[in-house]
Structure 1
Amino acid sequence: MNTTRRTILRGMVAAPVASAAGGLTLPGQAAAAERYRLKGRSAPTGASAYSYRRAINGLSSLLGGPVSLNEVLTRTPALKADRVTRWPEDQDDGTKPRPDKEPEELLYAFRWANADFVDKNWRPQGITTTYDANGSAPATLLVSWYGRLAAEKQGARISVVNWNATGDPTYQHVLLVEPYGLRDDGGDRYDFRESDLHAGGIAWYGNKLYVADSMIGTTGLRVYDLDRIFKVTKGPGLGRQADGTFHAHGYDYVLPQCYAYDATGSATRGFTFSQVSLDRTKGRPALLVSEYRAGGSCRLARWELGSRSSGYLSSTQASWQAAANREVRVQGAVRAANGRYYFSSSHGTKKPGQLRSWREGAAAGRRESYLNIGCEDLSYSRINGRVALWTLGEYANDHESDKPSHLDRRAPFSRYVYAVKP
């Protein structure tokens, strides 16, 4: 999580915490007067004559139709990640390229290809797997990144990762974009622009990808249809070019936004949509949204989903909301089958993060194990009957300070994607 992205994200400072009716009321706090609510939106808020659907259909006719996730990994050369089975050894100069205290049990892990492993212009944030999508063992992982520094105006991207427990993963980047359509003297003109997102957390359900949007002014959830990925011409710039081709800042693929859920009402607008995960522990699957707060207590809310074939919410009113007392700097949250919630909690560029657990009604949570420096989102899965919590690190030895003395030699080794046993 970063505080310098274009606008300051909500929820970074201490504020009064209240839990809603139906959730947990903490000592000394009154129940909120209203549930958190969302309002569906099917068209861009900026200049556009048409809905997302019509704009995507218009782009489809110009780009030759969508490609599948499998085609993304096979139509163009994929990048190769390195599977790892343990944290690396100490370096020759005695510095430790890992947290001071390692996760209790590292189940699976890989590190990105070298260019992405050290790239300071992009930071990994969210993670979700095919277990979220359809309940099957993870075979494809999706990871979100946000652009910063030289890539800030490129918005956000996802990495489609072909994963298995024994081989080296391969992956390909896809740029997230917002489609729109205009009408001029020449008729309809369809195009796309960047998605201005921090992309701090993602959840995959059916064929829909939900991305948490914590940017002031657009707080809520953005929705992308994974059956509508498009191949574009590789080249600089974004959108329609003078020769009629479409570019995406050098990427081969774009994924256009197909819907949005915006926060509505004073209570919801004060709630930060920092992360989102899939909750399969109830009778109906739901999205669990949690917030990053530097002070106060992390608040959570759950929105129930409809059928997997549609992939959309069944209700725009939260079915549950609560506050986890004294849980701060939460980067990801999931609910396990035993009713326990797990949080990833970060501690900057110098200290390892923590995996913490919490139950409703508890005065405070507890530490389960240590995570890497710069830990981020969480995703729950079961692999061969074994529960695994997936997480990842964001830093690439890029502390905000320009002073070399402030750089942490261990930070590059935080940029792993890995699963631990809770």
Structure 2
Amino acid sequence: MMHRGRHRRRRRGAALRAVLTGTALALTAAATLISASQAEVADSPGALAPLTSPADTGRLRLQEHLVPARTLDRLAAGMGRPVGVDAVLRSADRELREAGDCSSADRASLPVAPKAARAYCWDPADTAAGAWRPASVTTSGDADDDGVWGRHRVVLAGWAHGTAGGRPAERGLARIAFVDADDPARLAYRWVLLVVPVQGGRDYRGLASGISGMVWYGNRLLVTTTAGSADALYVYDLDRIQRTTVDGPAIGRVPGGWSAGGLGYVLPAVGSYRFAAGRCAASGPPCPGALALDRGTAPDSLVAAEWTAPGRDRHTRLWRYAFSTDPARAGLLAADSAGRVEAVETYRTRAAGIRGVLSYRKAGADHASWYLGRLPGSRDGHGGMWRQDAEGARADRCGADASRRCWARDAGSLSYWRATGEVWSLSDRMLFAVPLAGLDRSVD
């Protein structure tokens, strides 16, 4: 098993050759912009409103549930010794194509402004058919503050399967593309299925979740669950990836070994966080729709945005939880002796349809700015990007008609790679990065 000490080695020389800070690509986002009357994503959400009453903050309390070590050990005994990220990257069997080799339809899904500095389309085998869709992204820039995991620069992209189309065994599942990003001109990836141990580790089931948010911190991966789930977040250990032994459509233990719907690896959950007040709902705890890491707080924190449907006249909550500083709990949230996790900061915004969230505090600033990537009210076409704080909000605008539909089409979550100054995200067809400085300029 890999150890945390190895992950934090500073291999600056090797990392710098792969620094992904290329010149912005000349990308065509759309032949024409939508008319001004249709381009408004929403009226300004205004300033963030702090929430401090126990009635508001108490609904955000989580209860930690960790999978017993004996369950994980039994699963490993049955499947074989777990492997780490390196093993998955070495077996990468698909490639991402650079934007110049992608179709015009692919490129049209990219942000209009700011322009992507780097963009890639997926292997056609993963996009041509079926109901699998990209939803979330996190990177080794989240995992470790030097941006490198072991010897590699890595991007993780979460995909979810819809309930219509595809094989019955796939429906509602979640998988992760482990992307080797060492060479910015040749990104390769391998699929890993997210699963949950059952029967005390004698079997596993697929995680049925939209994974609209995802954060890699230390050796842990935290993902959102589907709205209405009893669990708010699932937790995975990236040192516990397991190989499958049967290439078949089933998921779980089968005659002759272990299967994952044709994928070669599974990642078993090691824990979850549930809202103490019950399942998420409009009148209760908020359903988390987007996640991100903020390394500008002390300690580092997990930020979340509530999912509310675009175009709804309903306020949305933004909040954060602190990560634990206990080395024995690396990558887990800060919890008391009873496993309770409290939100350390909470706001309300008038924004709706939030698919991506970031919290970032500039040097010398009194407070953090929150970046909100939002779906349009019609849920069709390009979305908008807002920067919001306690003083007000500003929108990204583009084109002669000052459209607010400047962000990517059906955009997913946001991940800030501090070592390169870039924000990674994905559209419904492409993986891309934009400089944070460019994002700031677009909303100034």
TM over 0.5: yes
- CA shift, 1:82, in A, is 0.8
After superposition, residues 52-91 of structure 1 pair within 5 angstroms as: 53-74=69-90, 76-84=91-99
The 8 Å contact of residues 34 and 267 in structure 1, kept in 2 or not, is answered as no
Gaps in structure 2 of 5+ consecutive residues: 1-44, 336-340, 363-367, 399-405, 440-444
Identify the residue that residue 409 of structure 1 maps to in structure 2.
Answer: none
- CA shift, 1:306, in A, is 1.1
- CA shift, 1:297, in A, is 2.7
Identify the residue that residue 330 of structure 1 maps to in structure 2.
Answer: 354
The 8 Å contact of residues 177 and 254 in structure 1, kept in 2 or not, is answered as yes
Distance across 2 between alignment mates of 1:241 and 1:169: 33
* SS of alignment partner, residue 390 of structure 2: coil
Residue identity opposite 1:38 in structure 2 = L
- CA deviations over 1:134-163 (Å, ceiling 9, x no partner): 112361011111112225536111110011
The 8 Å contact of residues 356 and 368 in structure 1, kept in 2 or not, is answered as no
- CA deviations over 1:148-201 (Å, ceiling 9, x no partner): 22255361111100114632200001000001235xxxxxx7110111111111
Does residue 377 of structure 1 match 2:413?
yes
Does residue 222 of structure 1 match 2:234?
yes
The 8 Å contact of residues 135 and 159 in structure 2, kept in 1 or not, is answered as yes
Residue among 302, 309, 312 paired with 2:332: 312
Identify the residue that residue 8 of structure 2 maps to in structure 1.
Answer: none
Count of aligned pairs between the two proteins: 355
Residue identity opposite 2:386 in structure 1 = R
- CA shift, 1:81, in A, is 0.8
- CA shift, 1:34, in A, is 3.9
The 8 Å contact of residues 111 and 117 in structure 1, kept in 2 or not, is answered as no
Identify the residue that residue 236 of structure 1 maps to in structure 2.
Answer: 249
For the aligned residue pairs, the C-alpha RMSD in angstroms reads: 2.8
Distance across 2 between alignment mates of 1:280 and 1:255: 26
* SS of alignment partner, residue 142 of structure 2: helix
Distance across 1 between alignment mates of 2:264 and 2:57: 45
Identify the residue that residue 18 of structure 2 maps to in structure 1.
Answer: none
The 8 Å contact of residues 50 and 346 in structure 2, kept in 1 or not, is answered as no
Residue identity opposite 2:176 in structure 1 = I
Does residue 321 of structure 1 match 2:331?
no
Identify the residue that residue 147 of structure 2 maps to in structure 1.
Answer: 137
The 8 Å contact of residues 57 and 343 in structure 2, kept in 1 or not, is answered as no
Identify the residue that residue 223 of structure 2 maps to in structure 1.
Answer: 211
Residue 237 and residue 357 in structure 1: after superposition, are their counterparts in 2 closer, same or farther (change >3 A)? same
Identify the residue that residue 185 of structure 1 maps to in structure 2.
Answer: none
Identify the residue that residue 190 of structure 2 maps to in structure 1.
Answer: 172
Identify the residue that residue 36 of structure 2 maps to in structure 1.
Answer: none
Residue identity opposite 1:207 in structure 2 = N
The 8 Å contact of residues 291 and 356 in structure 2, kept in 1 or not, is answered as yes
Does residue 254 of structure 1 match 2:266?
yes
Residue 204 and residue 101 in structure 1: after superposition, are their counterparts in 2 closer, same or farther (change >3 A)? closer
Identify the residue that residue 353 of structure 1 maps to in structure 2.
Answer: 383
Residue 80 and residue 267 in structure 1: after superposition, are their counterparts in 2 closer, same or farther (change >3 A)? closer
Identify the residue that residue 426 of structure 2 maps to in structure 1.
Answer: 392
Identify the residue that residue 370 of structure 2 maps to in structure 1.
Answer: 341
* SS of alignment partner, residue 307 of structure 2: coil
More strand by proportion, 1 or 2?
A: 1
Residue 58 and residue 267 in structure 1: after superposition, are their counterparts in 2 closer, same or farther (change >3 A)? closer
The 8 Å contact of residues 80 and 170 in structure 1, kept in 2 or not, is answered as yes
- CA shift, 1:226, in A, is 0.5
- CA deviations over 1:264-297 (Å, ceiling 9, x no partner): 1269743111121111111210110112212223
Distance across 1 between alignment mates of 2:298 and 2:415: 19
Residue 368 and residue 226 in structure 1: after superposition, are their counterparts in 2 closer, same or farther (change >3 A)? farther
The 8 Å contact of residues 286 and 307 in structure 2, kept in 1 or not, is answered as no
Residue identity opposite 2:229 in structure 1 = G
Residue 308 and residue 166 in structure 1: after superposition, are their counterparts in 2 closer, same or farther (change >3 A)? farther
Identity, % of aligned positions: 25
- Give the structure-1-normalised TM-score: 0.77
Identify the residue that residue 204 of structure 2 maps to in structure 1.
Answer: 192
- CA deviations over 1:350-406 (Å, ceiling 9, x no partner): 4211222111242x442366122111111111344xx21111113xxxxxxxxxxxx
Distance across 2 between alignment mates of 1:198 and 1:179: 19
Residue among 37, 61, 64 paired with 1:40: 64
Moved more, 214-223 or 250-259: 214-223
Residue identity opposite 2:81 in structure 1 = G
* SS of alignment partner, residue 195 of structure 2: strand
Identify the residue that residue 8 of structure 1 maps to in structure 2.
Answer: none
Distance across 1 between alignment mates of 2:287 and 2:263: 30
* SS of alignment partner, residue 59 of structure 1: helix
Residue identity opposite 2:302 in structure 1 = L
Residue identity opposite 1:115 in structure 2 = A
Residue 24 and residue 203 in structure 1: after superposition, are their counterparts in 2 closer, same or farther (change >3 A)? same
- CA shift, 1:63, in A, is 1.6
Residue 322 and residue 31 in structure 1: after superposition, are their counterparts in 2 closer, same or farther (change >3 A)? farther
Gaps in structure 1 of 5+ consecutive residues: 1-16, 44-50, 183-188, 395-414
The 8 Å contact of residues 59 and 190 in structure 1, kept in 2 or not, is answered as yes
Moved more, 152-161 or 260-269: 260-269
* SS of alignment partner, residue 127 of structure 1: strand
- CA shift, 1:211, in A, is 0.3
Residue among 111, 116, 135 paired with 2:121: 111
Residue 365 and residue 291 in structure 1: after superposition, are their counterparts in 2 closer, same or farther (change >3 A)? farther
* SS of alignment partner, residue 72 of structure 1: helix
